[in-house]
Every structure is written in structure tokens, then in C-alpha cells.
Amino acid sequence: MDKIIMEKMEFYGYHGVFPEERKLGQKFTVDTVLYLPLASAGKSDDLNETINYAEVYEVIKKIMEQQSYELIETLAEKIASTLLKTYTKINEITVKVTKPNPPFDIHFSGVAVEIHRKSV
């Protein structure tokens, strides 16, 4: 299946289990893979035959920056379900949410959750 891949979108959000995370906020990154047929768009050069990824970005930004959740699992699920409901051309979606600097004394480049969902 064809894909639109959006990688390493950066957002500042107030998500986390610890009160400090929800008060101070932190940086998150989001990657998405949107699975949908793109042949018509490729042949016609018509934006109406595909999905405007600038609009998709704004939907994700709103979820990441205007809402607050304890779990990055919930963020990923919210992004996936919202995009599948909003853009019916999407057949499947993979969403990865990364918290680069979790608030505990472990040295690594972050923790991430990746989910894959299909339209119903």
C-alpha cells in the first residue's frame, strides 16, 4: 500500500504521570505513516485525490499541544483514532510518540510507543 510518511514532528506538551511533567511540559516527537491509495493523486497532480499533510500536522499539533494526557500510549491512540475518523481515505495508520527526556535517571535517547491501527 502507498504511504505518506511524516517524521520527527516536534511539539511541546504537558503530558506525563508526574506532576512536574504536567506543570513544566517537555518536548515530544511524533512520526506517522498514513496508508492510502496515492495512484490517482500521482497521475492527476490534484490535492483532492490525496491528504493534505499540512492539515494532518495541524490536527496532530492540536492534540499534542492543547490537550494533556498521562500516557504517551493515550496520545498515540488519540492521534490514530482522530486521523482515521477525520480522513476516510486513510486505510491504516502507524503512530509513534517519543518522549526524548523522560524524568528519571536512565541514560538513553528516549522512550517511545508505536501503534498500528486500521480503519473500521
99 noted as active-site residue: yes
- Over residues 33-50, the mean pLDDT reads 97
Query: What does the DSSP 8-state code read for residue 52?
Result: -
Which domains are delineated in the chain?
3-118 (3.30.1130.10)
Selecting among 3, 8, 27, 99, the annotated active-site residue is: 99
The grid cell for 46 is 490534484
Q: 25 and 101 in contact (C-beta within 8 Å)? A: no
- Residue 35 CA to residue 92 CA, distance in Å, equals 5
Q: 51 and 35 in contact (C-beta within 8 Å)? A: no
For the chain, what is the largest distance between any 2 Cα atoms, rounded to a whole number of angstroms? 52
At 76, give phi and psi (nearest 5°).
-60, -45
- Over residues 77-103, the mean pLDDT reads 94
Query: What is the per-residue pLDDT for 107?
Result: 72
Q: Across the chain, what does the average pLDDT equal?
A: 94
